[in-house]
A and B are shown apart, each in its own frame.
Chain A
């Protein structure tokens, strides 16, 4: 499978949820929680276990009106980082 067709998904037991008391998004996981930065949040909101890397890059390119080639490596690196942290399976 090519790199761009890989599909990221939340690991079992990991959730993204809006925290109404603090008015921010939070990632909740076993004995962990953190507030994702703006870039991570934009990517995490598009992770649904169906969209592949290509699909995520397409969406972000449209949202930010930026060229795909510029965004793609950053998104891949971000996904890898979130996978290393145990947030995503990727």
Chain B
């Protein structure tokens, strides 16, 4: 077994409940219902164990984490344990009172997702009328409270032309950081890929706008940028490598090396209801499965980038080739790389309707 360094970062999916229905949501297609969620005591225990294990940053996410009334209590515990806390929110439930409770609990950073720079497009993507206006109000409250703020924009073919406006929004809010993140095509995003993937030309224009803004705003605003793998020559170092830095806990307490890992077949995901985080991280077969380089096939096995990108994303390899242990098709050295170009041709055609993210959506029909 590969000797595991302790994890740096922990993401808690506190709930899958969310007022929005983004068609690229990173939650699994099979959403967890409220009754299956861990209770407050169990989450507090996870936070204690994480700090002792060596986690430095904790992300409160969902679904919409603010749908959990115990969120301030969890944030407070994280602060007491010295963890850097980040709230990843749609912000439609954020108001002066809920924010004051979180700030008082010691929250370090708030990341608000925006679906577009303008209300019509944003509310259509989230399928939530009035959502964009609520987010703008929430972002103002976060600034006024003196908390660090990131605006996160998820980019796809319906809003990619407005990336310069998104950057301007970040400047107008005085955000220390924004994210221009192209949709990642797993789960709901993969299901809606033909409706979302931008063309190569649109992506190139977006990339040029981001690079120019980075230069102009150096020292003022950090711009993190994520491109879709479909136009890349090299894969991303997904999660910094399988079970190397990061772990994710699902609403019901399943521990995962990334939020999409439940899509992989043949795994028995350990639960924090039955095991400690230390046992899961250091001793579970699931976390050891793709850790390090020993599992790699060619061309990764003898590639000098194998400890840079760790062979790319296991979930993408499985979703596109049916085999989680193959080289990520995003890599141009992968024998499956042609799949990416094939998918990119979808982007030139008319966009189909969205399959919105909701519990009980007719996912099967849309897939076929």
A contact residues vs B (CB 8 Å cutoff)? 11-15, 17, 19, 21-22, 26, 28, 30-31, 33, 83-84, 86, 90
Contact = CB atoms under 8 A, between A and B. Distances in A.
B6 A21 contact: yes
B108 A13 contact: yes
A86 B57 CA distance: 18
Contacts, number: 56
Contacts of B82: 17
A15 B224 CA distance: 19
A33 B246 CA distance: 13
B218 interface: yes
Interface stretch (B31-39, B145-153, B197-205, B286-294): B145-153
Interface of B: 6, 8-9, 52-54, 56-57, 82, 84, 86, 108-109, 111, 146-148, 150, 176-177, 179, 218-219, 222, 224
Contacts of A28: 56-57, 84, 108
Contacts of B8: 33
B56 A31 contact: no
Contacts of B222: 86
Contact of A84 (B54, B150, B219): B219
Contacts of A31: 86, 111, 150, 177, 179, 224
Q: Which residue, B6, B82, B224, has most C-beta atoms of chain A within 10 A? A: B82
Given A22-B54, A84-B219, A86-B176, A13 B147 contact: yes
Nearest to B224: A31
B56 A33 contact: yes
A73 to B, nearest CB: 19
Nearest to A82: B219
A33 B57 contact: yes
Contacts of A19: 54, 56
7 contacts: A13-B108, A13-B176, A21-B54, A22-B6, A30-B111, A33-B56, A86-B176
B217 to A, nearest CB: 10
Q: Which residue, A15, A31, A83, has most C-beta atoms of chain B within 10 A? A: A31
B148 A26 contact: no
A83 B222 CA distance: 11
Contacts of A12: 146-148, 176
Q: Which residue, B54, B179, B218, B219, has most C-beta atoms of chain A within 10 A? A: B219
Q: Which residue, B52, B177, B218, has most C-beta atoms of chain A within 10 A? A: B177
Contact of A83 (B86, B109, B219): B219
A90 to B, nearest CB: 8
Contacts of A30: 86, 109, 111, 148, 150, 176-177
Q: Which residue, A17, A84, A86, A90, has most C-beta atoms of chain B within 10 A? A: A86
A33 B9 CA distance: 10
B176 A26 contact: no
Q: Which residue, A11, A12, A15, A33, has most C-beta atoms of chain B within 10 A? A: A12
A28 B84 CA distance: 7
A12 to B, nearest CB: 4
Contacts of B111: 30-31
A15 B53 CA distance: 20
A20 to B, nearest CB: 8
Contacts of B179: 31
Given A12-B146, A31-B86, A84-B219, 12 more contacts: A11-B176, A13-B176, A17-B82, A19-B54, A21-B6, A28-B56, A30-B150, A31-B150, A33-B57, A84-B218, A86-B176, A86-B177
A22 B51 CA distance: 12
A86 B218 CA distance: 8
A21 B176 CA distance: 29
B358 to A, nearest CB: 28
Contacts of B109: 13, 30
Q: Which residue, B146, B218, B222, has most C-beta atoms of chain A within 10 A? A: B222
A67 B6 CA distance: 41
A14 B222 CA distance: 13
Contacts of A15: 84, 108
Contacts of B176: 11-13, 30, 86
B326 to A, nearest CB: 29
Contact of B56 (A11, A26, A83): A26
